[in-house]
């Protein structure tokens, strides 16, 4: 099976370099999370939903928050595979990391847009993913309760619907 840096290289072929594609990764994580959720595998579904929300929101931030300092330019001004945000107050660049750490950037998507669907999705993601941790994949999961996992799944669906709207219309609602 190919690793994260190479795909489909035959013996003797030059390995292909991976390309960061937040939208594609978000769609894949959402589909897999939905599959597991439908089979009652809530803990693993929750992990994939968190990654899906993170990737889909990064995709939206990259597309719509460039004027607010979001880009693929790292703190040295070099092109990066990762998404970065330049804080206007400190003029310092910071990597846009996991959803629980990047929630404070989501209001950048509102920027004069009063759309209720956008506001609802951002509000739900901000609330429901506040305590989501990528490191939960290493735990026994007993600290997570089913109502929280259900709310996170609903927030992931809202995020996915928002992303689909953007794919179809080219704009935020």
With H, G, I as helix, E, B as strand and everything else as coil, classify residue 128.
Answer: helix
Among residues 32, 64, 38, 56, which one has the least CA distance to residue 162? Answer: 56
Q: Are 152 and 46 in contact (CB under 8 A)?
A: yes
Q: What is the DSSP letter of 142?
A: T
Q: Tell me the pTM.
A: 0.86
Beta bridge partners of 79: 73
**pLDDT tens figures, 78-124:** 999 999 999 999 999 999 999 988 888 998 888 766 678 888 889 99
């Amino acid at each position: 099976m190919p690793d994260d840096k190479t795909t489909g290289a035959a013996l003797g072929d030059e390995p292909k370099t991976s390309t960061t594609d937040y939208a594609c990764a978000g769609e894949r994580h959402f589909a897999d999370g939905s599959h597991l959720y439908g089979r009652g595998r809530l803990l693993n579904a929750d992990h994939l939903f968190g990654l899906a929300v993170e990737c889909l929101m990064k995709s939206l931030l990259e597309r719509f928050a460039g004027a607010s300092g979001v880009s693929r330019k790292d703190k040295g001004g070099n092109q990066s595979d990762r998404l970065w945000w330049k804080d206007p107050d400190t003029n310092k660049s910071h990597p846009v990391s996991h959803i629980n750490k990047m929630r404070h950037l989501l209001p950048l998507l509102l920027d004069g847009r009063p759309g209720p669907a956008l506001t609802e999705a951002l509000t739900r993601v901000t609330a429901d993913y506040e305590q989501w941790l990528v490191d939960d994949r290493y735990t026994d999961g007993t600290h997570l309760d089913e109502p929280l996992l259900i709310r996170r799944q609903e927030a992931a669906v809202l995020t996915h619907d928002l992303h689909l709207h953007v794919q179809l219309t080219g704009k935020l609602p």
